[in-house]
Amino acid sequence: MSESTRASLLKKEGLCGLIALALLGLAAVFYPLAPVFGGSSDQARAPWIFLGLQELLRWLPVGIGGLLLPALGLALLAALPWLARRRGHLVPAYRLPSLLEMAAWAVLAAWAGLTAWALLS
């Protein structure tokens, strides 16, 4: 007797989720988090994962660059499933992203851009 589609998908997605979590765990164990040195600089350099935050702190006051902007970005990403909810079909067709979805992608792109800028400078 065959399983229901929902149960089959839950098993497959659960297995993929566990595999992805295991790969991320292995990457966290084996990828070095040593500071990145870009030549002779008298300024301390953060590990690569914090370079975006370090760039914000370099150009903005601590309260804004270290607390307010990262908190707003994370709050936007956390609230996105509730803010971008639309009525319609259970399986939506391709549609243009909403303004909130584009804002979330802009937050991620800005963070990646700051990290890349700090790595290259």
pLDDT at 93: 63
Q: Where are the domains of the chain?
A: 1-31, 37-120
Cα within 13 Å of Cα(107), Cβ side: 16
Pairwise CA distance, residues 89 & 71, whole Å: 33
Asked if residues 36 and 119 have their Cβ atoms less than 8 Å apart, the reply is yes
| Residue with token string 């909130």 | 100
List, run by run, the mean pLDDT of 10-residue segments along the chain (121 residues).
Answer: 75 90 85 60 66 81 85 82 64 70 84 80 71
Whether the pTM exceeds 0.75: the reply is: no
pLDDT at 90: 60
pLDDT at 20: 92
pLDDT at 18: 92
